[in-house]
């Protein structure tokens, strides 16, 4: 894994500290994902350990801490993605149920409209018959 300094060169911007605290060292969560992907996809001519850099225990501890911070950020991101997926799934289920309810309501409405149209046609026919009878009867009487 590249050093925090190498990751910072790739990532560009570093976020400020949490709640106004001092800025923290760059971590994977701070970097642009595409830049990170290209950074890891390109083969490195050197080994992961910087050539010519003297090993110190403090540098090793700092590197382990940055790896732990990166792991924590990745786990938090995975948890957020998982929560987002659960939310999306529940929203999709609600949308499906709403669509099914709406379809049933539309079918019910269409049946009611058909019934009313049939009743209206029957009443118009009866009215016509009554008018014809009335006219005939009135015509014959006069």
In the chain, what are the domain boundaries?
1-46
CA distance 75 to 82: 10
Residue 137 has pLDDT above 80, yes or no: no
CA distance 22 to 26: 12
Query: Tell me: the pLDDT tens digits for 41-77?
Result: 766 554 455 556 688 999 999 999 999 999 999 999 9
Query: Tell me: the pLDDT tens digits for 94-124?
Result: 999 999 999 999 999 999 999 999 999 999 9
Instruction: State the pLDDT confidence band at 134, using cuts at 50, 70 and 90.
Output: confident
Residue 91 has pLDDT above 90, yes or no: yes
* Cα four-point dihedral sign 50, 54, 56, 62: negative
Whole-number mean pLDDT of the chain? 78
Residue 13 phi, psi dihedral angles, 5° rounding? -75, 140
Q: Which residues are CB-neighbours of 84 under 8 A, at least 6 positions away?
A: none
Q: Are 14 and 30 in contact (CB under 8 A)?
A: yes
What is the token pair recorded at 77? Answer: 């991101």
CA distance 27 to 14: 8
């Amino acid at each position: 894994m590249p050093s925090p300094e190498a990751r910072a060169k790739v990532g560009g911007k570093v976020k400020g500290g949490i709640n106004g605290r001092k800025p923290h060292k760059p971590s994977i969560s701070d970097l642009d994902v595409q830049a990170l992907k290209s950074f890891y996809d390109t083969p490195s001519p050197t080994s992961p350990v910087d050539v010519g850099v003297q090993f110190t225990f403090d540098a090793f501890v700092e590197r382990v801490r940055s790896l732990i911070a990166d792991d924590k950020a990745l786990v938090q991101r995975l948890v957020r993605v998982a929560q987002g997926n659960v939310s999306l799934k529940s929203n999709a289920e609600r949308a499906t149920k709403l669509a099914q309810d709406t379809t049933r309501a539309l079918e019910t409405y269409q049946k009611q409209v058909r019934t009313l149209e049939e009743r209206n046609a029957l009443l118009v026919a009866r009215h016509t018959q009554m008018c014809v009878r009335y006219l005939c009867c009135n015509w014959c009487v006069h």
